[in-house]
Structure 1
Amino acid sequence: MIFKIVFDKIAAFFGLIVLLPFILFVSMLIKIKMPEGPVFFIQRRVGQKGELFNMYKFRSMSISHGGSSISVKGESRITPLGAVLRKYKIDELPELLNVLIGNMSLVGPRPDVPGYADKLVGEDRKVLLLKPGITGPASLKYANEEELLALQDNPEKYNDEVIFPDKVRMNLEYYYNRSFWGDLEIIWKTVLR
């Protein structure tokens, strides 16, 4: 456990240093292409032991949108630049700051918004004992989640009845079978993706 924490912090620190020029470049692009609004999107998410924290991402949507907490490919609220950032998961790079702060890990269940975390009952709540991650087994399986949801007549219903329960199942499996070497494999597969 301590080894994972130390590894996360060292990897996040050096990751932020190495990626700093790219992060600055993306920040400038966002200010040029989406001048109204901030560079970063900050959202309250449910972390370890159910505690709320601010998760940092690059902003990929217009600031004047309303809408669901799930995103579907092709939505008008996602800007053209935002679509590229989301496709290649570049929007998630600022989460390295969350890892450095200590409220996220490199590998773990993706942090949910409060409404979804509230749906966890019984044994499923064990996933809240883990630090949420930038990537994980469910993230790899549903790397194309927005495209998958775009094919559905009712994306929110499909997410609630199919994707969310499957992610919970996979996160619980990760809870019971996690290991440092398994985390390294997940990180490697994420980078190759």
Structure 2
Amino acid sequence: METIEGVPRQALSPGPAARLAPGRRVLDVVVAVPLLLLLAPLLALLALVVRVTTGPPVLFRQARIGAGGEEFTFYKFRSMRNGSEGPQVTGDADPRVTGTGRQLRRLGLDELPQLWNVLRGDMTLVGPRPEVPDLARRYPPEHQWVFRHRPGLTGPCQLRSRAYAAQLDGCPDPEGYYLKVLVPRRTALDAEFLSRATAWNVVRYVARTALYLFRAPWGRDPECRGGGS
């Protein structure tokens, strides 16, 4: 079996794509279209800020794993230095993150271009965090089931992203810690949400995300208490 830095590289075999309920797809479109129109001036302003402060490219494009293990192109505002190399997970104090990028990340603004992914059907409003292909193939086999499901713009793991990022700071092997410690926690949270992924629960998570982002400028983040567990 091929290994990467001593870590076995598993074949990605999550199984067939899980069907997204029609009501959730309608909700995705009903929310994504107005938000893209409403936020268009802010998106243009953020693009200008990124371009002026860190140079091109403005958007970060990367392959991520979608439903059924299929890859899609994921979009966000670039928050890391162009051409920087290192672990495929990012700690809270990662030196690769630019000054502008750190503010965008803290406020969750770097993720706004993913509304386009939601509208396209690559992602849904609430679901598992979209993973990069290499890390996805290195997930323990018992956790690869999560890639049957359409990834989400927000979700239980995304609401703990700051706490998870803080746990990676100072790790001698951040990818190993992520795969061995954080992945089991994340998939457990995803399983809990997916077991009752009704339209009402989607709306609840969208509302919780809005509150999460509203509190960010003041550093009040209830989801991060207790180390993100």
Which TM-score tier does this pair reach, normalised by the shorter chain? over 0.9
Deviation at 1:100, TM superposition (A): 0.7
In structure 2, the residue matched to 1:69 is 88
SS in 2 for 1:56: strand
Residues 44, 82 of structure 1: alpha-carbon distance in 2 compared, 3 angstrom cutoff: same
In structure 2, the residue matched to 1:102 is 121
In structure 1, the residue matched to 2:39 is 19
Deviation at 1:109, TM superposition (A): 0.3
Residues 54, 129 of structure 1: alpha-carbon distance in 2 compared, 3 angstrom cutoff: same
CA distance in 1 between partners of 2:74 and 2:39 (Å): 18
Alignment of 1:147 with 2:169, yes or no, is no
TM-score normalized by structure 2?
A: 0.78
CA distance in 2 between partners of 1:153 and 1:38 (Å): 30
Alignment of 1:2 with 2:22, yes or no, is yes
In structure 1, the residue matched to 2:79 is 60
CA distance in 2 between partners of 1:78 and 1:38 (Å): 15
Deviation at 1:179, TM superposition (A): 1.3
CA distance in 1 between partners of 2:76 and 2:140 (Å): 25
In structure 2, the residue matched to 1:169 is 188
Whether contact under 8 Å (1:127, 1:175) holds in the other structure is no
Unaligned runs of 5+ in 1: none
The letter of the residue matching 1:182 is: N
Identity %: 33
Residues 125, 64 of structure 1: alpha-carbon distance in 2 compared, 3 angstrom cutoff: closer
Residues 120, 13 of structure 1: alpha-carbon distance in 2 compared, 3 angstrom cutoff: farther
Aligned partner of 1:156 among 175, 178, 183 = 175
Alignment of 1:88 with 2:107, yes or no, is yes
SS in 1 for 2:39: helix
Deviation at 1:152, TM superposition (A): 4.0
> Does 55-64 or 157-166 show the bigger shift?
157-166
In structure 2, the residue matched to 1:39 is 58
CA distance in 1 between partners of 2:148 and 2:189 (Å): 15
Whether contact under 8 Å (2:92, 2:162) holds in the other structure is no
CA distance in 2 between partners of 1:121 and 1:157 (Å): 15
Deviation at 1:121, TM superposition (A): 2.2
Whether contact under 8 Å (1:43, 1:55) holds in the other structure is yes
In structure 1, the residue matched to 2:151 is 132
Whether contact under 8 Å (1:126, 1:172) holds in the other structure is no
The letter of the residue matching 1:108 is: G
In structure 2, the residue matched to 1:28 is 48
TM-score normalized by structure 1?
A: 0.92
Unaligned runs of 5+ in 2: 1-20, 213-229
Deviation at 1:45, TM superposition (A): 0.2
Alignment of 1:180 with 2:199, yes or no, is yes
The letter of the residue matching 1:90 is: L
> Does 146-155 or 25-34 show the bigger shift?
146-155
Whether contact under 8 Å (2:79, 2:104) holds in the other structure is yes
> Does 141-150 or 109-118 show the bigger shift?
141-150
In structure 1, the residue matched to 2:18 is none
